[in-house]
Amino acid sequence: MGWVNCDLLQCSIACSVETGGGATLWPIMQPYHRPLFLASMAVFLFGCQNAPTTMNASEPTPPQAVKKPFAMTVHGHTRNDEYHWMRLSEEQRNAAEPDAHTREVVAHLEAENAYCDSMLAPVAALREELFKELKARIKESDMSVPYRENGYWYHSRYEEGKEYAVQVRRKDVEGAQEEDFLDENAMALGSTYYDLGDFEISPRNGLVCYSEDKVGRRQYELRFKDLSTGKDLPDVITNTGGGCAWADDRTIFYPRKDETLRSYRIYRHELGTDEANDVVVFEEKDPGFSCDVYRSRSDAFVMITTESTTSSEHLILSVKESKGDFRVFLPREEDHEHTAMHVPGIDGAAGKWYIVTNWKALNFRLMECAEGDTGNKRKWKEVLAHRADVFLEDVDVFKDHLVFTERREGLTHLVVRRLSDGREHEIAFHDPAYVCYSGTNPEWASDKLRYGYTSLTTPSSVYEHDLNAKTDRLLKQQEVVGSFSPANYASERIWIAVRDSVKVPVSLVYRKGTVLNGTSPLVLYGYGSYGISIDPTFSSSRLSLLDRGFVFAIAHIRGGEELGREWYETGKMEDKMNTFNDFIDCGDALVRLKYADPARLYAWGGSAGGLLMGAVVNMRPDLWNGIIADVPFVDVVTTMLDESIPLTTGEFEEWGDPKEKEAYERMFSYSPYDNVKDQAYPAMLVGSGFHDSQVQYWEPAKWVQRVRDHQQGDAPILLHVNMEAGHGGASGRFSALKDVARNYAFLLWRARKVE
């Protein structure tokens, strides 16, 4: 299996929180730089309603989009969306010759970008200073910790000044030379966006299948390279999900996407043949499910996984029968989630399966069964029982050990069980707020566990744990270039009782010496959806805020899974308001406890966390001095009613299906776009990507216009649209920092206005 960027990904994990990411591990977004005159020309050509005019030299006024009535009636209830016209199809966005409608929309977005830059002009020098500061902390020439797989050592390497990584391998024999087999910098030439989705090495190590996206909509092309010659093969497979699985050195399986970008079919491809002749081996007909394919860690099976938010199903095929039929591991069952891991037999014995399952186990448990007993749960044997206060998040299976990743009281733990006698030991960690996680462990027979560790004050670290000796060895820690010392920073973890008496954990970090007497600015980050846990990770970028006196806090609100499955269940569907109330109550408490200046409290979230931002700013605009909402999901009802939009059907189990009246009314009650009203809104900086396939750009664009229409105060509402990126933002490691610098400059700008 290919592990793109290996432990260098931890740098992304470590900075994901304050740059708009959640457990989705987003990359951060790049600013889209266009001179002001381009927007002015667009205004001249396509309509003066978009002009970023000025009242005077120091007061730019925002562009005003035209209003075009568009009525939508559902369940006898009519909504008017005067900005519905901003929507463009994917074909319109990518057309070589844009039509009049496209030109009108693009002109407006360009004008928004120009207005955003004009409003941030007072901190233009600060933005540049911040960018240089953020970049200076990055070790430009760097490499990941090598890992061994199938007779080779693999790692990623970054070179000074380069945006992307080089994938490298070396045969595990004395004197072997390193091979640069995928140079992402060369592959990205000529592209404004580039993402190497995944790579997989063929069983006999001679070929690599890799996926790449040059638009940002997560529609990947699969390509193949002969590693002995360095030449690409003629095979190219379009519109895939990005993953793939080798059965043998000529046969590969991959997922393909439908018009809504749902991975709905698994195909078999024979090298040297036209993709038009590829065979469909599985089709997922339920629009609420999406499928993927991979090779088992045991290398014995090709496995198809298809899942919705609350259910999963697996199909398996022996790699020895590449043209055979997949068989169902266990027929799908409503609300049954499970993960299957194959273990090869030892000394000729039959193999078996381990299953992490929520069958009669809200917080999941571990079961095992013989290879032929997968479809009969009565033959499954319990290995690790369900516990009401412990969430079983993951299991790593080794020849002689099991390693459990668990969550207790919101923090992750690694517990090792020796199979020979059942004895267990736990790896100890001591920071008040941290996260540990299993790393790159492709080889089942190893007695070493690779794991990662980071905290709010500890840079991302890779350790090797001896499963027998119970000892740890630090292999690599993220280097922060400059004068950084963990001793200069402090972290805390507190519990806040919210309005229904439930206690919510909050993680905080600040520079030592920061006065906690109610006079310090504070940024509160939140997400609270999909059962995704937002963990307290280190970020070298965040130091620029902390060193300027900010406190940074993460509210681990309901809707995530920090406190187990119930924490998620009580933050979705009919209980979704808990997510918003938790966040507001945490903000109030941080002011009351004097961590935050009441006049300089800020909120930040992205994607579904952007929905959180939209809801809380409607509910309590007075609480915040500023809001950052990255790629925010704010037009909930309209999007969830439109099944032609990517990902909508798979979201019904998270938000509900608005074709049902009860669900419609529930969503409408908190949908940010539908609940904008006449009141004084705080300053807002909203980010979007023109090619975003998950939260289409028109949602934040419309929302910004509507908020401005109802704004009763004088705080600015800003929008920046990256015209060359999608949901994850920019792909380059340095370009992405420009967006971080913009966000930080916005916060510092608003904080200084209060001083």
Determine the Cα–Cα distance for residues 751 and 755; give it in Å rounded to an integer: 7
pLDDT bucket at 755, cuts 50 / 70 / 90: low
Distance CA 254, CA 265 (A): 8
Q: What is the pLDDT of residue 57?
A: 47
Determine the pLDDT at residue 19.
Answer: 38
Q: What integer pLDDT is reported at residue 34 of this predicted model?
A: 26
**pLDDT band at residue 42, thresholds of 50, 70 and 90?**
very low
Q: Which among 450, 439, 444, 154 has a CA at the least distance from the CA of 299?
A: 444
pLDDT for 47 beyond 50: no
Note the pLDDT of residue 728: 54
Identify the residue with better confidence: 417 or 141: 417
In the structure, what pLDDT confidence band is assigned to residue 350 with cuts at 50, 70 and 90? Answer: confident
Instruction: Report percent pLDDT > 90 for the chain.
Output: 80
Closest Cα partner for 731 from 141, 134, 165? 165
Residue 193 has pLDDT above 60, yes or no: yes
pLDDT above 70 covers a percentage of the chain that reads 91
| Residue 25 pLDDT > 60 | no
Burial-class residue 306 by CB neighbours within 10 Å (0-12, 13-18, 19+): buried
pLDDT the model gives residue 191: 84
Kindly report, residue by residue over 609-623, the tens digit of the pLDDT.
999 999 999 999 999
Q: Does residue 729 carry a pLDDT above 60? A: no
Mean pLDDT, residues 76-85 = 96
Q: What is the mean pLDDT of residues 576-589?
A: 98
**For residues 190 and 194, what is the distance between their CA atoms, to the nearest angstrom?**
10
pLDDT of the residue at 14: 33
Q: How far apart are CA 375 and CA 139, in angstroms?
A: 50
What domains lie within the chain, and their CATH numbers?
A: 10-17+29-48+97-136+483-635+672-754 (3.40.50.1820)
Provide the 8-state DSSP code for 10.
H
What pLDDT was estimated at residue 438? 95
Task: Determine which of 21-25, 302-306, 425-429 has the lowest per-residue pLDDT on average.
Answer: 21-25
The model's confidence at residue 217, banded by pLDDT at 50, 70 and 90, is confident
Cβ atoms of 606 and 632 within 8 Å: the answer is yes
Euclidean distance between CA atoms 398 and 664, whole angstroms:
47
Q: Does residue 527 have a pLDDT over 80?
A: yes
- Reported in sequence order, the residue ranges of 420-470 that DSSP labels E, i.e. its strands, are 424-426, 434-438, 448-455, 461-466
Do 32 and 721 form a contact (C-beta atoms < 8 A)? yes
Weakest mean pLDDT among 44-48, 102-106, 124-128: 44-48
Q: Measure Cα distances from 647 to 28, 196, 260, 261, 550 in Å.
A: 21, 22, 6, 7, 37
| pLDDT one-digit tens code per residue, 370-410 | 999 999 999 999 999 999 999 999 999 999 999 999 999 99
pLDDT of amino acid 18: 41
Identify which of 206, 83, 31, 2 has the alpha carbon closest to the alpha carbon of residue 709: 83
Per-residue pLDDT tens over the stretch 279-306: 999 999 999 899 999 999 999 999 999 9
pLDDT at 94: 81
Q: How confident is the model at residue 649 (pLDDT cuts 50, 70, 90)?
A: confident
Over residues 113-133, the pLDDT tens digits come to 999 999 999 999 999 999 999
The sheet with strand 601-606 has its strands ordered as 489-497, 503-511, 551-555, 522-525, 601-606, 626-630, 683-689, 717-722
Q: What pTM does this model have?
A: 0.89
Measured at the alpha carbon of residue 422, what is the angle toward residues 417 and 427, in degrees to the nearest 5? 25
Token pair in block for residue 258: 């439908």
pLDDT at position 730 over 90: no
**Per-residue model confidence (pLDDT) at position 726:** 59
Rounded Cα distance between 508 and 552, Å, is: 6
- The better pLDDT of the pair 583, 2 is held by 583
- Dihedral through CA 217, CA 222, CA 225, CA 227, nearest 10? 80
Statement: residue 528 has pLDDT above 80: yes
Closest to 366 measured CA to CA, from 446, 304, 422: 422
pLDDT at 27 over 70: no
pLDDT above 60: residue 652 = yes
pLDDT at 725: 63
Q: How confident is the model at residue 696 (pLDDT cuts 50, 70, 90)?
A: confident
Average pLDDT over residues 338-362: 93
Could you give the residue numbers annotated as active site? Answer: 607, 692, 727
